[in-house]
């Protein structure tokens, strides 16, 4: 069955794929979604994006985007009914996402997989990651969202990674001295768009019916 929709290859638990799906949801767009299994990636995805990471967006005109930040921006440039691409804060938002994707993600990976990185203890990796959490806590002390009174691309671009950090050890995370960040994360975990973004789908196989996301 063919589809006239843009096509998104995704993996439910990947934070990069999460933010791509959140961008699509906040833009109130629909795509064809193909859930992948990272241990058995479909040949169709690898053919258009040989690096094999998710998410991958293929537009109906054949254009391929394999960077989650670019997919978020693309979606919100199509339509932005909730004002997430507020131009007055976009430069600061992009800088914060950049810090998340480079500095914080580096320590997050080592904290989550400390057994693979014996140079430091898991607690030391966590403490390195906390430097970014402190930046977020300071921002959230001033406002309910990272960039102000309203949610922006910074919130949806960073939240999946804070979630992943928290879920390494929930008990430890919620004992840390970041009450504003903990509240912000909890509110996002309960947000209707996030719950919809985390809908479970069976891994896609050739010949399956088209899955429209959101349905």
Same domain, 66 and 109: no
Same domain, 190 and 104: yes
Same domain, 102 and 150: yes
Query: What are the contacts of 200-205 at 24+ separation with CB within 8 A?
Result: 200/12, 201/12, 201/33, 201/35, 202/35, 203/35, 203/36, 203/37, 203/40, 204/34, 204/35, 204/36, 204/42, 205/42
Token pair of 113 as six digits = 């997989």
Same domain, 72 and 156: no
**pLDDT of res. 106:** 98
Same domain, 36 and 118: no
Domain total for the chain? 2
Is residue 150 situated within a structural domain? yes
In this predicted model, what pLDDT tens digit does every residue of 65-89 receive, in sequence order? 999 999 999 999 999 999 999 999 9
Q: State the DSSP string of 55-87.
A: -EEE-TTS-EE--HHHHHHHHHHH--TT-TT-T
Q: Is 51 helix (H, G, I), strand (E, B) or coil?
A: coil
In this predicted model, what pLDDT tens digit does every residue of 143-199 receive, in sequence order? 999 999 999 999 999 999 999 999 999 999 999 999 999 999 999 999 999 999 999
Same domain, 140 and 167: yes
Instruction: For residue 208, give its domain range.
Output: 7-83+196-213
Please, is 115 exposed, middle or buried when counting C-beta atoms within 10 Å of its C-beta (0-12, 13-18, 19+)? exposed
Same domain, 50 and 103: no
If you average pLDDT over residues 129-153, what whole number do you get?
98
CATH code of the domain containing 171: 1.20.1050.10
Is residue 184 situated within a structural domain? yes
Is residue 175 situated within a structural domain? yes
Does the predicted TM-score (pTM) go above 0.85?
yes
In this predicted model, what pLDDT tens digit does every residue of 2-41 receive, in sequence order? 569 999 999 999 999 999 999 999 999 999 999 999 999 9
**pLDDT of res. 187:** 98
In this predicted model, what pLDDT tens digit does every residue of 53-62 receive, in sequence order? 999 999 999 9
Helix (H) or strand (E) holding 207: none
């Amino acid at each position: 069955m063919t589809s006239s929709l843009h096509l998104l290859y995704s993996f439910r638990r990947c934070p990069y794929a999460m933010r791509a799906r959140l961008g699509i949801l906040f833009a109130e767009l629909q795509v064809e979604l193909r859930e992948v299994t990272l241990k058995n990636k479909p040949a169709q995805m690898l053919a258009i994006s040989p690096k094999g990471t998710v998410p991958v967006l293929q537009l109906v005109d054949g254009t391929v985007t394999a960077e989650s930040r670019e997919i978020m921006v693309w979606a919100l440039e199509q339509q932005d009914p909730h004002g997430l691409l507020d131009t007055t804060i976009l430069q600061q938002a992009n800088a914060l996402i950049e810090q998340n994707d480079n500095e914080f993600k580096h320590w997050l990976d080592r904290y989550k997989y400390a057994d693979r990185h014996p140079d430091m203890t898991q607690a030391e990796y966590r403490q390195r990651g906390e430097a970014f959490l402190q930046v977020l806590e300071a921002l959230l002390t001033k406002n309910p969202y990272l960039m102000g009174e309203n949610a922006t691309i910074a919130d949806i671009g960073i939240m999946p990674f804070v979630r992943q950090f928290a879920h390494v050890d929930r008990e430890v995370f919620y004992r840390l001295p970041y009450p504003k960040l903990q509240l912000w994360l909890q509110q996002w975990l309960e947000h209707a768009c996030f719950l919809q973004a985390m809908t479970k789908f069976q891994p896609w196989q050739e010949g399956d019916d088209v899955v429209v996301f959101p349905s």
